[in-house]
Structure 1
Amino acid sequence: MSQSSLDDEELFGEAAEEMRADVEEHLDAARAELPAAADVWEVDADNTLGVLNALRSALDVEDVEAHLRDAKKAFVVGKRADAFEDADDLEEEIDAVEAVLGDIETAREQVGELASTVPELRSALEEANAGGEDGDDEDSDEDAA
C-alpha cells in the first residue's frame, strides 16, 4: 500500500462517511419499524377489550427503540469526534423519530391502563345492574300479588 492510501485525513473522511451512513441506516430501520397508521386506526375486534389489546399490540415499539438507540450512539460518537460536516439534519431526524416514539409510548401506557380498567368497570357495572335487577324483581312480584 502506498503512503497516500493511509493518509489520516482520508481515513477520517471515510470513517465519517461510514458513521453518517450508519446513523441514517438505523434511522431508516427505526422508521420502518414504526406502526403503520392503519394498524393503529383500524382494528378488528369483537369487544372493547379486544380493541384495546389489538391497539396495544400495534403500539409495540421495542424494535424502534433499539434502532433509535443505535442511531443515537453512532451520532453521539460522530458529533463528539466532529466527524459530520453538518450534524443538524441528523439531529433533527433523530429528534423527530424520538418524538413519535414518545407519543407512541404515551399512547401505549394509556391503552394499557384502559385495558386493565375496562374489565373492572364491566364487573362493577354487572354487579350494580344485578343489584338493581333484584330490586326490580321484588317490585314486579309485589305488583303481581
Structure 2
Amino acid sequence: MSQATLDDDELFDEAASEMREDVESSLAEAREALPEADAVWDTDADNTLGVLNALKGALDTGDAEDHLRDAKKWFAMGKKADAFEDADDLESDIAELEDLLDSIVSAHEQVSELASTVPELRGALEDAESDDEDDE
C-alpha cells in the first residue's frame, strides 16, 4: 500500500469520526432546544386563554428542528459514504427525536387553533346571553 493510500484511509477514518460527532452533537443540541416537560404541564394563567397561550409558548421547539435537520444531513452523508461502522443507534436516535418533534409541532398547532377559537366562542356565548336578556 502506498503512503497516499494510508493517509487517505486515516483521513477518511478521522472524517468519519468527526461526522459521527457532528451527528451526535446536533442531536444533543436538538434535545436541549426541546420544551421542558414542566413548562408544558405547569401554568400560572388566570383563564382558559391564558392557559392556552402559555401552553402554546411552552410548545415552541425553538431551534430543535434546525438541529435535527443538521443531524439528518450529516447522518445521510456519512451513511452514503459508508463512514459509520454502526449507524443503527444514530438512525434510531434521529427517528425517535423526529417523532417527538412531530408530536410537539402537532400539539402546538392544535393549541394555537384552540387559542384562536376560544375568544370567538366566548364572544358568541356573550352575544347569545345578551340576546336572551333582550328577549326578556
Scaled to the shorter chain, the TM-score interval is over 0.9
Contact map agreement 2:34 2:62 (CA 8 A) in 1? no
Residue 57 (structure 2) aligns with: 57
Structure 1 CA distance for aligned equivalents of residues 68 and 44 of structure 2:
30
Structure 1 CA distance for aligned equivalents of residues 103 and 134 of structure 2:
46
Structure 2 CA distance for aligned equivalents of residues 87 and 7 of structure 1:
24
Deviation at 1:69, TM superposition (A): 0.5
Deviations 1:47-75 (A, max 9, x none): 11111111111111130001000000000
Structure 2 CA distance for aligned equivalents of residues 135 and 26 of structure 1:
63
The yes-or-no answer on 1:11 pairing with 2:16 is no
The residue type equivalent to 1:51 in the other structure is V
Residue-pair matches, total: 134
The yes-or-no answer on 1:42 pairing with 2:32 is no
Structure 2 CA distance for aligned equivalents of residues 32 and 61 of structure 1:
10
The yes-or-no answer on 1:93 pairing with 2:93 is yes
Structure 2: 5+ residue stretches without partners: none
The yes-or-no answer on 1:76 pairing with 2:76 is yes
Alignment of 1:106-121 (within 5 A): 106-121=106-121
Structure 1: 5+ residue stretches without partners: 137-145
* Identity rate, percent: 65
Across the aligned residues of Structure 1 and Structure 2, the Cα RMSD in angstroms comes to 1.5
Structure 2 CA distance for aligned equivalents of residues 33 and 61 of structure 1:
6
Using the size of structure 2 for normalisation, the TM-score is 0.94
Deviation at 1:84, TM superposition (A): 0.2
Deviation at 1:46, TM superposition (A): 1.3
Bigger radius of gyration: 1
Structure 2 CA distance for aligned equivalents of residues 81 and 58 of structure 1:
39
